[in-house]
A and B are shown apart, each in its own frame.
Chain A
Amino acid sequence: MNRLIRLLPILLMMAASAAWGELVIRVTQGNDKPTIIAIAPIAMNGIAVGQDIGSIVEADLQRSGLFRVTPRRDMLAFPSRAADVYYRDWRLLGSEYLVVGSAGLIEDGRLELEFSLLNVGAQKVEFKHRVRGRTNEVRDLAHLISDKVYEEITGIKGAFSTRIAYVSAIRNDGKYTYRLNVADADGAREKLMLESPEPIMSPSWSPDGKELAYVSFETGRPAIFRQNLVTAARQQLTNFKGLNGAPSWSPDGTKMALVLSKDGNPEIYLLDLASGKFSRLTRHFAIDTEPTWMADGKHLLITSDRGGTPQIYKLNIASGVTERLTFKGNYNARPSLAPDGRTLALVHRESTTFHIASFDLKTGRMIELTETRLDESPTVAPNGAMLMYATKQGDRGVLSAVSLDAGVRYILPAKNGDVREPAWSPFLR
């Protein structure tokens, strides 16, 4: 029987801000020995931007779990220039580092923030830096400050300026509303990309961070689409009988690995995006799905149950040869590779509970990272520090994050609906 009603999805331009419930973050577990940092309020010099830049930076650093923030109420002074800092005041508060800064307007009307990172113990300025942006880009500027401070102290590139894509589903009187959203990595500035009464699944970022590929059932069947986040231009890439799923963009952006079952059962295919040509990579009666690219662009990691249970296999694209990688546990699926090219985040089941685990491709060591239940869809931040995943809180789907050493955790509870399938963007600048 045909679908009786078919609704075309509502598309919103990225620029149009939507007032959906934003994610609120709660840190549930931090690092044992966090670095103590004080962020003095940024001196705004009478410029009204409607947001407290210093608090955004504080929240970013706190969320990383590697920092503890000196409360503003404890501060004895609010210096905005390194020259005005009395190091002794900050040492008494236990602050190891201090950020001071001030705002100004430049000729084209843009906001300029000048900020310094001070090492309290050594009594010296680590760096002085300047960022500029429009007055409605205050959050971007704040995240840039966080990135710069985080990188200086930890040696790891900050990922506070990145974004996450995710799917939410709301059920009301038996009717569904599925949404594909994009938000800042901290959950703020949620933007609606696609809304449909039919399922939306499997968002995947293009390597340049400008597009998303995903599965939408809006035609009454699953089909893969790509959509530009700025222009909202979209294109349907597949329209085959059966499964059209699990799109994954190649590291060079020219190809997409995906799953089609048009020949009888789920197989991995490669789509050349320029020519539109499909090539089949697997030939097996088992389920082959969830391809993800290795950094060399020559291998895929896939989930296959060809051995009896779902396990991770490495697939050589040129030869079609597969090699089983996981043996511990009765369910290992949905691989997501960390930027080090060797740590794999995956869905792992030892006996009956699904957790997120990390799997070292070199040593074969599997470490469970999560303690919640029904954990799925791991996605690693582009700096490899944290991974985000979907889990359940009561009967509701929420997003949660954990560091790759399992030392830091936070959750992003949604205000309404089920939130699932997070996909962490690449670095955007």
Chain B
Amino acid sequence: MKTSFNKAGLATILFSLVLAGCSSAPVEDSSTDIEDTSVQTGQVDASAIEESAAVEEAAMVTSADTVFYFDFDKALLKPESRAALLEHAAVLNSNPRSVRLEGHADERGTREYNMALGERRANAVKEFLVLQGVSGGLIEVISYGEERAASYGSNEGAWSMNRRVELK
């Protein structure tokens, strides 16, 4: 994977870290350290600090679907997802890169339970890819639960679009 930092972006990050006095760098593994991330705003009403790390996007070598859908309260891969996932696995095996699997749920049910459900769905996709030989270390799983709907509306049409895992 080719990675290039845009200089201004990097400067913004450094500046932000100094200003915020916190370590907000992403960690890939678990850590039990409690970090003090207090942001002192003093007399200023609002402080909008922008941090923008520009990472060049690795070109996708496949045009296979990147969104996989699920049934209500289920985390079983549907048969129609297999072909696209096999293609992704093949591409990732020949050209390994870090991917992110974002799991989502529809709005029904409780928010934290849906966070767990979204993760379970993303894990189901991850397990499939790992079984096809993709290194688990390259796959990051993040659940958004019902917080990021793809389709709005309280009906089965919208809900079925929201019960999904997005490969990014």
Binds A, one of B77-85, B87-95, B115-123: B115-123
Smallest CB gap from B107: residue in A: A374
Smallest CB gap from A333: residue in B: B110
Interface residues of B in 38-62 (CB under 8 A from A): 38-41, 45-55, 57-58
Q: Which of B33, B111, B144 contacts A376 (CB 8 A)?
A: B111
| Cα separation A218 to B24 with both chains bound (whole Å) | 9
In the complex, whether A287 has a CB less than 8 A from a CB of chain B is yes
In the complex, whether B130 has a CB less than 8 A from a CB of chain A is no
| Cα separation A376 to B110 with both chains bound (whole Å) | 6
Least Cβ distance of B34 to chain A in Å?
4
- A5-B52, A10-B47, A287-B120 in contact; A235/B37 too (CB < 8 A)? yes
Is B119 a contact partner of A310 (Cβ separation < 8 A)? no
Is B113 a contact partner of A237 (Cβ separation < 8 A)? no
Interface residues of A in 225-241 (CB under 8 A from B): 225, 232-237, 239-241
Q: B141-153: contact bitstring with A at CB < 8 Å (1 yes, 0 no)? A: 1111101100011
Is B53 a contact partner of A2 (Cβ separation < 8 A)? yes
- A201-B112, A234-B37, A266-B116 in contact; A221/B53 too (CB < 8 A)? no
Is A392 a contact partner of B154 (Cβ separation < 8 A)? yes
Is A395 a contact partner of B154 (Cβ separation < 8 A)? yes
Is A240 a contact partner of B31 (Cβ separation < 8 A)? yes
Is B113 a contact partner of A354 (Cβ separation < 8 A)? no
Given the complex, which residues of B lie within 8 Å of A236, measured CB to CB? 22, 34-37
Given the complex, which residues of A lie within 8 Å of B36, measured CB to CB? 235-236
- A6-B52, A10-B47, A241-B29 in contact; A289/B115 too (CB < 8 A)? yes
| Cα separation A331 to B117 with both chains bound (whole Å) | 14
Smallest CB gap from B22: residue in A: A236
Q: Which of B45, B110, B111, B154 contacts A373 (CB 8 A)?
A: B154
In the complex, whether A242 has a CB less than 8 A from a CB of chain B is yes
| Cα separation A245 to B142 with both chains bound (whole Å) | 12
Q: Which of A176, A219, A333, A373 contacts B109 (CB 8 A)?
A: A333
Q: Which of B24, B38, B58, B113 contacts A233 (CB 8 A)?
A: B38
Given the complex, which residues of B lie within 8 Å of A261, measured CB to CB? 116, 119
Is A7 a contact partner of B39 (Cβ separation < 8 A)? no
In the complex, whether A106 has a CB less than 8 A from a CB of chain B is no
Chain A contributes a number of interface residues (CB within 8 A of B) equal to 65
Interface residues of A in 154-212 (CB under 8 A from B): 169, 176, 199, 201-202
Is B34 a contact partner of A276 (Cβ separation < 8 A)? yes
Q: A1-39: contact bitstring with B at CB < 8 Å (1 yes, 0 no)? A: 111111110111100100000000000000000000000
Is A12 a contact partner of B45 (Cβ separation < 8 A)? yes
Q: A391-403: contact bitstring with B at CB < 8 Å (1 yes, 0 no)? A: 0100100000000
In the complex, whether A270 has a CB less than 8 A from a CB of chain B is no
In the complex, whether B99 has a CB less than 8 A from a CB of chain A is yes
Smallest CB gap from B158: residue in A: A395
| Cα separation A392 to B159 with both chains bound (whole Å) | 15
Given the complex, which residues of B lie within 8 Å of A240, measured CB to CB? 30-31
Given the complex, which residues of A lie within 8 Å of B26, measured CB to CB? 2-3, 219-221
Is B112 a contact partner of A245 (Cβ separation < 8 A)? yes
Least Cβ distance of B50 to chain A in Å?
6
In the complex, whether B4 has a CB less than 8 A from a CB of chain A is no
| Cα separation A3 to B26 with both chains bound (whole Å) | 10
Q: Which of B27, B55, B113 contacts A2 (CB 8 A)?
A: B55
| Cα separation A199 to B120 with both chains bound (whole Å) | 19
Interface residues of A in 284-315 (CB under 8 A from B): 287, 289-290, 303, 305, 310
- A243-B119, A374-B154 in contact; A4/B112 too (CB < 8 A)? no
| Cα separation A16 to B117 with both chains bound (whole Å) | 38
Least Cβ distance of A174 to chain B in Å?
11
Smallest CB gap from B37: residue in A: A236
- A7-B50, A290-B113, A347-B109 in contact; A239/B27 too (CB < 8 A)? yes
Is B48 a contact partner of A395 (Cβ separation < 8 A)? no
Is A8 a contact partner of B109 (Cβ separation < 8 A)? no
Given the complex, which residues of A lie within 8 Å of B27, measured CB to CB? 239, 241
**Among B41, B53, B116, B120, residue most surrounded by chain A Cβ atoms (within 10 Å):** B116
Is A13 a contact partner of B30 (Cβ separation < 8 A)? no
In the complex, whether A42 has a CB less than 8 A from a CB of chain B is no
Given the complex, which residues of B lie within 8 Å of A368, measured CB to CB? none
Q: Which of A1, A243, A278 contacts B143 (CB 8 A)?
A: A243
Smallest CB gap from B149: residue in A: A171
Is A235 a contact partner of B35 (Cβ separation < 8 A)? yes
In the complex, whether B20 has a CB less than 8 A from a CB of chain A is yes
In the complex, whether A421 has a CB less than 8 A from a CB of chain B is yes
Is B40 a contact partner of A233 (Cβ separation < 8 A)? yes
Smallest CB gap from A352: residue in B: B108
Given the complex, which residues of B lie within 8 Å of A287, measured CB to CB? 113, 116-117, 120
Binding site for B on A (CB under 8 A): 1-8, 10-13, 16, 169, 176, 199, 201-202, 217-222, 225, 232-237, 239-243, 245-246, 259, 261-262, 265-266, 276-278, 287, 289-290, 303, 305, 310, 331, 333-334, 347, 354, 373-374, 376-377, 392, 395, 420-421
Other A-B contacts than A11-B39, A201-B115, A377-B111, 19 sampled, CB-CB below 8 A, are A1-B57, A8-B20, A10-B48, A11-B46, A221-B142, A222-B142, A222-B143, A225-B37, A232-B41, A235-B38, A259-B112, A261-B116, A287-B120, A289-B115, A305-B113, A333-B109, A334-B110, A354-B108, A377-B110
Can you list 10 A-B contacts with CB-CB less than 8 angstroms, sorted by A residue number?
A2-B55, A220-B26, A234-B39, A243-B115, A246-B112, A277-B32, A287-B116, A290-B113, A373-B154, A395-B153
